[in-house]
Structure 1
Amino acid sequence: MTTLTGECFCGAVKYQITGPLRDARSCHCSRCRKAFSAQASAYALVDPADFSWLCGADALTTYASQQDFGFQFCRQCGSTLCGIYKNHVHGITLGCLNEDPHIEIGRHIFVGSKASWEVMPEGVTQYQAQGPD
């Protein structure tokens, strides 16, 4: 496994991942559209033991979207960097990676609430809600 690195838009916050990413998905719910400022999120899970902040952890701010769950952002530029569960990083936003993660989006979730202007590509695995865990 190659080490992956990622960073926010302004470069103040940087991280590395030393293990594999898994379960890449794109969520089309209205909350993810707002959190990611896009038609959907692009997100993959990571083992917390394989994730570490290289610099800028003091520039992070956290938004707890639900009990035990949340997102961490760069407070300087606003980039959404990762998702947390019980104060540990459990997934990363694929758009902030510097290298090719050699993973593909395996499922599109919450397409039942996608934006009216979004057109889903043919042939992608879609779930109206969460889908299987």
Structure 2
Amino acid sequence: MQAGSTGSNPKTLTGQCMCGAVSFTVPDDFDYAMNCHCGKCRRTTGSAFKPMGGIARAELVVTRGAGDVFLYGDGTTHDAHCRRCGSLLFSQVRDAEYAHVPLGVLIDAPSIRPTHHIHVASKAPWYEITDDLPQYQEFD
């Protein structure tokens, strides 16, 4: 089955923070995946960009350590971090309808791969994009 398809029983992926206090599951059925180069994603991850997959927020279930999840933002749009180690677990976006899951926090390999780069107008000046994926100056 292709990621993002509507087939039945997709594989379940597990995500976890660095210290292991918080875990979550999400089906391997992401609607999209991309590399975001905006300043917020760079600062949140400490990296040149954030590779992430987008999925309906209701599909992501915190399975361990819900009390250790710290939300940075408001009730609709926020980043969820581990209160103990600070790892970014996911971002709630698009009027709380979607979660953006950093692919690096997944223990299991998702079947989807990023298909494009967004916010390249504000990418880190020291980083050069060397792949052939489409690049978008902003996010439409």
Q: Compute the TM-score of the two structures, normalised by the length of structure 1.
A: 0.89
Pair 1:116 & 2:111 matched = no
RMSD in angstroms over aligned alpha carbons?
1.8
- CA shift, 1:93, in A, is 1.2
- CA shift, 1:51, in A, is 1.6
- CA shift, 1:91, in A, is 2.3
- Mark the runs of 5 or more structure 1 residues left unpaired by the alignment: none
Which structure shows the higher strand fraction?
1
> Deviations along 1:81-101, whole A, 9 cap, x unmatched?
011145566221111001110
Pair 1:71 & 2:79 matched = yes
Q: Give the direction of change, closer, same or farther, for the CA distance of 1:81–1:27 in structure 2 (3 Å limit).
A: same
Partner of 2:50: 41
Counterpart Cα distance in 2 of 1:71 and 1:11: 18
Counterpart Cα distance in 1 of 2:96 and 2:82: 16
Q: Give the direction of change, closer, same or farther, for the CA distance of 1:18–1:77 in structure 2 (3 Å limit).
A: same
Partner of 2:24: 15
Pair 1:105 & 2:114 matched = yes
Q: Give the direction of change, closer, same or farther, for the CA distance of 1:67–1:52 in structure 2 (3 Å limit).
A: closer
Q: Is the 8 A contact 2:121 2:137 kept in 1?
A: yes
Counterpart Cα distance in 2 of 1:68 and 1:113: 24
- Mark the runs of 5 or more structure 2 residues left unpaired by the alignment: 1-9
Secondary structure, in 3 states, of the residue corresponding to 2:35? strand
Secondary structure, in 3 states, of the residue corresponding to 1:33? helix
Pair 1:27 & 2:27 matched = no
Partner of 2:6: none
Counterpart Cα distance in 2 of 1:74 and 1:89: 19
Q: Which moved more, 1:67-76 or 1:99-108?
A: 67-76
Q: Is the 8 A contact 1:19 1:47 kept in 2?
A: no
